[in-house]
């Protein structure tokens, strides 16, 4: 996104749309900065659209005693009352030269009619934020680092996303910190690990996998991370259930099947078979039975049969990893 | 309240009267007939009895008898409309949701205060009174506390503990018994013209649940599905077999649920479309999408509950196998529930101890509690259970 100049904001309408609240905020602050850069005396007023009537808009846009240049930020455009639409469109078609109007819309269906009309106007520039897909986060990180004048290796960006999670604000903060602590040198995976090691966004599946491999300590550690990061306890138990289900079916499946048939029989994607093969070496039928009982009990426990979900899950992790063949 | 065994007027059971639909409930029928004749009549009744004993049928029959000039002849307009659920002074509330909401209850209370259209009673039947929650229960309580002269409330619940104590104490309780196998078989032959052999089987297999017995007697698919379920125990020889049995049982329940709900779901969707019109613009409207969303939600909820009901029934069938095994092991007199599986059950009995089978029954109840009480996914609960049933 190109940084706007003050001439892009003043005498224009900046329309910020999209679901990513953080990116929207940034677009607003960039617009404000541009104007302030041009005139330090400029004034900013903020309001929400549901408070807005034509009278208040005129009021906000009127030159003040101290400064002629003003920026008006209107949040929650989707809540703009129907009878104000016409007035706003009229203003947007010929905005005052010394006033920059910034409109924020959170990207839903609501008020999309108004948006379409606004988009048709020449004076309106739109800044769109789209929700990022999982694979786009590393690119977002490297963009962030570059904006601070640094460089980051591709794998390092990926590690950072895994470590910090998919919160854009946190990612931007991390990128900012790294870029300023290591000015002039490229950010490598090693550097990222040193700063953000261990604090991964853990999914229930990771916990279950570690426990099934018998790595009790790692599994418990991951479980704590998962719960601290707000992973729902049910997701952990369901990950255990599907992991052990796959394991049981893999053990029970007849030998000598082709990979594809085996995957179908077990009910997992073919790439999962390798993991199952490794995991199954440490398991006997009796242990699997014990582990599945423990999962069913833990699932009931986290849904109200016991008072402490975290304890129930810890006990589950320990029971499952101890149900492996002990060497 | 007089309970002296005076002569009771009105038609007796077995003469085509409204009481004929009730199986093995002579004691309860006697009480109700007396009440119709004016002895011990009161404004609120609570029908309790195990599932399938005919609580709501008993309530409906009582309603019909109250509306009938002859006290329940079973032929007149009052009787037939009351039994069919279309009598103006008999309102029947049933729900396929988990709870009866307070809004619906308040409407019902309002309606109960109206004078009857005919000259007899305003009868309010609430099936599933056990699904009243605190607020809807208390709304009902208000109406029962200060009854209108011509209003009668008939509540149905599995046990008296299922309704609020304050409601319970204001109702006269009618306890229905589990009908005996002979009663059920006789009923199937008499009412549905089922051949003796099948009727006997259905009566045994249903363990006194009349609706279930009728389904088993009349529908071959239901019989086959039951056979599949009761054949499970002897096949649970390995880890893989247990896991597959659990998955199959869940699939079976889902299939059966779909077969039941699909037609209703489609009809409801068509009705919704009829309300909003088939115009594509109307279909894009927010109101239509919101209505469609909430409809789909409630359909899903209903399907989930149905699946649970079906699984629950399968578990009871499964349990009967272990019950039989213990009966064989201890040499208990009487027929087996699954008489036709005697060979398999004897094998099971030889290879296990009664303690083991009791523990298996415990595992079935534990799985049931996990599913119904704590909403553990059926597949997981059943896997854990099947592994406990492993031979």
Contact predicate A61/A92, CB 8 Å: no
Contact predicate B386/B242, CB 8 Å: yes
Express each pLDDT in B219-236 by its tens digit: 888 899 899 999 999 999
Express each pLDDT in A48-80 by its tens digit: 888 777 777 777 766 666 667 888 888 888 888
Distance from CA of B384 to the nearest CA of A (A): 5
Q: What is the pLDDT of residue B387?
A: 95
Share of chain B above pLDDT 90, in %: 43
Residue B23 host element (H or E) = none
Domains of chain A: 6-128 (3.40.50.300), 134-196 (1.10.8.60), 200-323 (1.20.272.10)
Taking any CB pair shorter than 8 Å as contact, residues of chain A touching chain B are 109, 238, 241, 245, 248-249, 251-253, 285, 288-289, 292-293, 295-297, 299-300, 303-305
Directed axis angle between helix B220-230 and helix B286-330, to 10°? 60
Looking at residues A212-222, what average pLDDT do you find? Answer: 92
| Cross-chain Cβ contact B374/A241 below 8 Å | no
| Cross-chain Cβ contact A296/B241 below 8 Å | no
| Cross-chain Cβ contact B243/A241 below 8 Å | no
- Class of CATH domain B2-175: alpha beta
Q: What is the pLDDT of residue A161?
A: 82
User: Look-up: residue for tokens 């032929």?
Assistant: B75
CA distance B155 to B93: 10
Taking any CB pair shorter than 8 Å as contact, residues of chain B touching chain A are 238-241, 243-244, 286, 367, 369-370, 373-377, 379-381, 383-384, 387-388, 390
Strands in chain A per DSSP E: 13-17, 43-48, 70-75, 99-105, 124-128
Q: Which residue has the higher pLDDT, A56 or B67?
A: B67
Nearest to A245 among B238, B373, B383 (CB): B383
Q: What is the pLDDT of residue B168?
A: 92
User: Look-up: residue for tokens 């099971």?
Assistant: B348
CA distance B127 to B130: 8
Query: Is the reported ipTM for this assembly greater than 0.95?
Result: no
User: Look-up: residue for tokens 């989930």?
Assistant: B304
At residue B323, does pLDDT exceed 90? Answer: yes
User: Look-up: residue for tokens 């036709």?
Assistant: B340
Q: Which residue in chain B is spatially nearest to A242 when comparing CA positions? A: B380
Average of per-residue pLDDT values in chain A: 84
Average of per-residue pLDDT values in chain B: 88
Q: What is the dihedral of CA A115, A116, A117, A123, to 10 degrees?
A: 80
Nearest to A300 among B239, B376, B379 (CB): B376
| Cross-chain Cβ contact A300/B370 below 8 Å | yes
At residue A143, does pLDDT exceed 60? Answer: yes
CA distance A216 to A320: 9
Token pair for A312: 């129930």
* Domain edges within chain B: 2-175, 181-218, 235-389
Contact predicate B378/B311, CB 8 Å: yes
Token pair for A280: 């199954």
Looking at residues B135-157, what average pLDDT do you find? Answer: 90
Residue A72: strand, helix, or coil = strand
Distance from CA of A248 to the nearest CA of B (A): 7
Q: What is the pLDDT of residue B200?
A: 92
| Cross-chain Cβ contact A241/B377 below 8 Å | yes
Q: What is the dihedral of CA A10, A11, A13, A16, to 10 degrees?
A: -10
At residue A287, does pLDDT exceed 90? Answer: yes
Alpha helix stretches (DSSP H) within chain B: 26-36, 55-67, 77-84, 102-112, 134-145, 165-168, 181-192, 196-206, 210-218, 220-230, 232-235, 239-276, 280-284, 286-330, 342-351, 354-374, 378-388
* Residue B172: CA count within 13 A, CB half-sphere: 15
CA distance B265 to B139: 31
**Dihedral pair phi/psi, residue B287, rounded to 5°:** -60, -45
At residue B277, does pLDDT exceed 60? Answer: yes
């Amino acid at each position: 996104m190109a940084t706007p100049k003050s001439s892009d904001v003043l005498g224009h309408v900046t329309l910020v749309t999209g679901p990513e609240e953080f990116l929207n905020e940034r677009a607003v602050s960039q617009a404000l900065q541009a104007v302030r850069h041009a005139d330090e005396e400029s004034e900013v007023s903020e309001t929400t659209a549901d408070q807005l009537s034509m009278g208040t808009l005129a009021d906000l846009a009127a030159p003040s005693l101290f400064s002629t240049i003003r920026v008006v930020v209107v949040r929650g455009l989707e809540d703009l009352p129907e009878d104000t639409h016409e007035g706003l469109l009229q203003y947007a078609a010929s905005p005052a030269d010394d006033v920059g109007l910034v409109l924020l819309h959170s990207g839903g269906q609501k008020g999309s009619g108004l948006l379409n009309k606004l988009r048709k106007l020449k004076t309106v520039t739109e800044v769109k934020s789209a929700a990022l897909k999982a694979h786009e986060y590393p690119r977002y990180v490297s963009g962030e680092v570059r904006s601070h004048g640094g460089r980051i290796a591709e794998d390092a960006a990926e590690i950072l996303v895994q470590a910090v999670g998919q919160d854009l604000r946190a990612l931007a903060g991390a990128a900012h910190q790294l870029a300023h602590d290591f000015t002039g040198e490229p950010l490598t995976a090693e550097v990222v690990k040193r700063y953000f090691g261990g604090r991964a966004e853990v999914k229930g599946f990771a916990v279950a996998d570690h426990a099934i491999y018998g790595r009790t300590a790692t599994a418990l550690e991951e479980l704590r991370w998962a719960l601290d990061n707000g992973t729902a306890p049910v997701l952990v138990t369901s990950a255990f259930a599907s992991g052990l289900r796959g394991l049981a079916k893999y053990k029970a499946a007849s030998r000598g099947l082709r990979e594809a048939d085996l995957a179908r029989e077990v009910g997992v994607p073919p790439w999962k078979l390798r993991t199952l093969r490794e995991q199954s070496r440490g398991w006997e039928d009796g242990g699997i039975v014990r582990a599945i009982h423990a999962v069913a009990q833990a699932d009931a426990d986290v849904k109200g049969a016991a008072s402490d979900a975290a304890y129930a899950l810890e006990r589950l992790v320990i029971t499952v990893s101890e149900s492996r063949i002990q060497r | 309240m007089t309970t002296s065994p005076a002569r009771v007027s009105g038609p007796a059971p077995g003469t085509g009267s409204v009481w004929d639909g009730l199986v093995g409930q002579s004691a309860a029928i006697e009480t109700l007939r007396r009440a119709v004749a004016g002895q011990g009549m009161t404004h609120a009744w609570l029908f309790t009895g195990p599932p399938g004993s005919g609580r709501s049928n008993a309530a409906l029959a009582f309603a019909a008898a109250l509306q009938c000039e002859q006290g329940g002849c079973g032929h007149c307009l009052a009787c037939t409309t009351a039994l069919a659920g279309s009598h103006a002074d008999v309102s029947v509330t049933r729900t396929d949701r988990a709870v009866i909401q307070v809004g619906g209850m308040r409407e019902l209370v309002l309606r109960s205060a109206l004078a009857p259209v005919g000259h007899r009673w305003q009868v309010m039947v609430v099936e599933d009174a056990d699904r009243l929650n605190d607020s809807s229960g208390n709304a009902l309580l208000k109406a029962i506390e200060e009854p209108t002269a011509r209003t009668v409330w008939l509540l149905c619940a599995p046990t008296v503990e299922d309704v609020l104590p304050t409601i319970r104490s204001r109702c006269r309780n009618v306890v229905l018994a589990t009908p005996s196998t002979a009663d059920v078989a006789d009923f199937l032959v008499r009412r549905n013209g089922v051949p003796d052999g099948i009727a006997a089987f259905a009566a045994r297999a249903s363990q006194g649940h009349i609706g279930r017995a009728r389904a088993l007697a009349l529908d071959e698919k239901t019989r086959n599905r039951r056979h599949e379920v009761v054949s499970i125990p002897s096949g649970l020889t390995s880890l893989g077999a247990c896991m597959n049995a659990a998955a199959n049982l869940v699939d079976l329940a889902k299939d059966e649920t779909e077969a039941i709900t699909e037609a209703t779901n489609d009809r409801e969707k068509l009705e919704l479309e009829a309300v909003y019109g088939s115009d594509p613009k109307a279909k894009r409207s927010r109101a239509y999408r919101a209505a469609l969303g909430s409809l789909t939600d409630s359909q899903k909820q209903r399907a989930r509950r149905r699946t649970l009901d079906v699984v629950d029934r399968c578990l009871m069938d499964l349990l009967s196998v272990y019950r039989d095994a213990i009966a064989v092991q201890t040499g208990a007199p009487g027929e087996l529930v699954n008489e036709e599986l005697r060979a398999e059950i004897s094998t099971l009995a030889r290879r296990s101890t009664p303690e083991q089978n009791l523990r298996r029954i415990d595992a079935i109840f534990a799985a049931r509690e996990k599913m119904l009480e704590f909403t553990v996914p059926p597949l997981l609960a059943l896997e854990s259970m099947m592994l406990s049933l492993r031979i």
